[in-house]
Amino acid sequence: MQKLDAANKIFGRLATEVAVLLRGKNKADFEPNIAPEEKVVIENIKQLSFSGKKEAQKKYFHYSGFPGGMKTRKLGEEFYKNPAKVFKSAVYRMLPKNKMRSKIIKNLIIN
């Protein structure tokens, strides 16, 4: 089990580090077709920082299903509301797009 402290770290750099650890690519016996059992615990997720103007410029979209129902929310608002969800979705998108992705993301624990 790996414990990482997110205090004063950059969002994207920590997300890539976590994605590598979850896949097990840091181990000598890495096999791409086997999901590792390595768990990663992230602490102090609210103290992450963003580089550049991402908090004000990056947008998340949500469609309600009705005509004209496209909703947008800036990264700063979404991160303030639920930082664990934003971080988990970023790591999820960095994992390989196959059947193992949903199994691997279960090893990410955010406190």
Residues 4, 23, 107, 8: what is their CA dihedral angle, to the nearest 10 degrees?
Answer: 20
In CATH terms, the fold of domain 2-50+83-110 is: Ribosomal Protein L13p; Chain: A; (3.90.1180)
The mean pLDDT value for 58-85 works out to 96
Which of the four pLDDT bands, split at 50, 70 and 90, describes residue 96?
very high
Task: Check residue 8 and give its pLDDT.
Answer: 95
In sequence order, the 6+-apart residues with CB closer than 8 A to the CB of 59 are 72, 73, 74, 75
Q: What is the mean pLDDT of residues 23-43?
A: 94
Q: Where do the domains of the chain lie?
A: 2-50+83-110
| CA dist list (Å): 59 to 18, 65, 70 | 23, 19, 12
User: The pTM is what?
Assistant: 0.92
